[in-house]
């Protein structure tokens, strides 16, 4: 019996190691789709998605989601934190596009999906770790789970298929580039004056509603993000042109207001 138990453990370890080796951490198939169907606009600070193009390549999208669905929880837990976070962000974004395609082109906003008493983010359709979960489960229970990643920059990485969202990158997130991709995402998002800006007339910062909804996430101290004011201060150079205003933003002396969120589909029609 002891021999059989040892044999089982060894076999399970070998299976897990094989799965670890087989999964493509470059997420190349997803990366290829993004490069093909995502276009940067607004000087590279926003993007538009060709859902028509994704619809034509839906088999490839589903193949990628099948590959992510085939990763066991044990294998996922054997990865390092950067591999885990890149994986979850890519799953969220790819699954969101798949959700849009279930009704495209007959919708103008992701909020049209779901039922009378449910939201699109609470639909169980994402296959992950042997069960079906929701987009909310991926974002809030896994990516934003307390003490797991504690990285507020994820809010410029997970994209809800709306114009008000940060841009969907035209490349996959990967563990080796994750830090630079998240920093770059913050800078690009805060550089887009349609969603984040300093108003010289009112002398206020007008920023995305995302910073209101998830303000708590910017108080966890990750890499200097000790508060929302400190976060915005790190990017004062792209929020305002005036040097005096930049200094006030860095010193947390500027009042903050929040812009209305544009839920229209980020579609390149």
> What does the pLDDT look like over 203-253, one tens digit per residue?
999 999 999 999 999 987 776 678 999 999 999 999 999 999 999 999 999
Contact 159, 165 (CB under 8 A): yes
Contact 47, 38 (CB under 8 A): yes
Q: Does the pLDDT of residue 4 top 60, yes or no?
A: no
> What does the pLDDT look like over 26-42, one tens digit per residue?
999 999 999 999 999 99
End-to-end CA distance of the chain: 64
Contact 71, 16 (CB under 8 A): no
The whole-number average pLDDT for the span 104-132 is 93
Single out the residue of 228, 233, 229, 207 nearest to residue 216, CA to CA. 228
> What does the pLDDT look like over 219-231, one tens digit per residue?
877 766 789 999 9
Q: What mean pLDDT, rounded, does the chain reach?
A: 91
Q: How many CA atoms lie within 13 A of 169 on its CB side?
A: 26
The whole-number average pLDDT for the span 69-94 is 98
Supply the pLDDT for residue 67. Answer: 97
The whole-number average pLDDT for the span 80-96 is 98
Q: How confident is the model at residue 70 (pLDDT cuts 50, 70, 90)?
A: very high
Contact 263, 110 (CB under 8 A): yes
Q: Does the pLDDT of residue 93 top 50, yes or no?
A: yes
**More confident position, 269 or 175:** 175
pTM confidence score: 0.90
Q: How many CA atoms lie within 13 A of 4 on its CB side?
A: 1
**More confident position, 265 or 147:** 265
Can you give the length of the chain in residues?
269
The whole-number average pLDDT for the span 117-142 is 95
Contact 100, 61 (CB under 8 A): no
Query: Which residues are CB-contacts of 22 (< 8 A; sequence separation ≥ 6)?
Result: none
Single out the residue of 45, 57, 65 nearest to residue 168, CA to CA. 45
> What does the pLDDT look like over 177-212, one tens digit per residue?
999 999 999 999 999 999 999 999 999 999 999 999
Supply the pLDDT for residue 19. Answer: 43
């Amino acid at each position: 019996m002891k021999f059989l138990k040892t044999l089982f453990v060894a076999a399970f370890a070998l299976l897990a190691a094989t799965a670890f080796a087989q999964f493509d951490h470059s997420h190349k198939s997803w990366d290829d789709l993004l490069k093909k169907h995502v276009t940067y606009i607004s000087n590279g600070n926003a993007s538009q998605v060709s859902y028509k193009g994704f619809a034509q390549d839906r088999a490839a999208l589903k193949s990628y989601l099948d590959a992510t669905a085939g990763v066991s929880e044990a294998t996922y837990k054997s990865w390092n934190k950067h591999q885990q976070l890149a994986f979850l962000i890519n799953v969220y974004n790819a699954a969101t596009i798949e959700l849009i395609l279930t009704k495209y082109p007959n919708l103008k906003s992701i909020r049209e999906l779901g039922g009378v008493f449910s939201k699109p983010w609470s639909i169980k359709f994402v296959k992950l770790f042997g069960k079906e979960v929701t987009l909310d489960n991926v974002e809030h229970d896994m990516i934003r789970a307390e003490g797991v990643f504690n990285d507020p920059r994820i809010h410029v990485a997970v994209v809800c298929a709306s114009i008000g969202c940060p841009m969907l990158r035209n490349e996959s997130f990967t563990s080796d580039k994750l830090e630079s991709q998240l920093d770059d995402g913050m800078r690009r998002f805060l550089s887009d004056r349609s969603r984040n800006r300093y108003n010289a007339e009112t002398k206020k910062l007008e920023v995305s509603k995302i910073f209101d909804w998830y303000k708590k996430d910017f108080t966890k101290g990750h890499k200097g993000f000790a508060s929302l004011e400190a976060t915005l201060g790190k990017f004062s150079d792209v929020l305002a042109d005036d040097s005096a205003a930049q200094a006030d933003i860095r010193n947390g002396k500027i009042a903050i207001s929040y812009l209305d969120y544009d839920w229209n589909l980020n579609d390149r029609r």
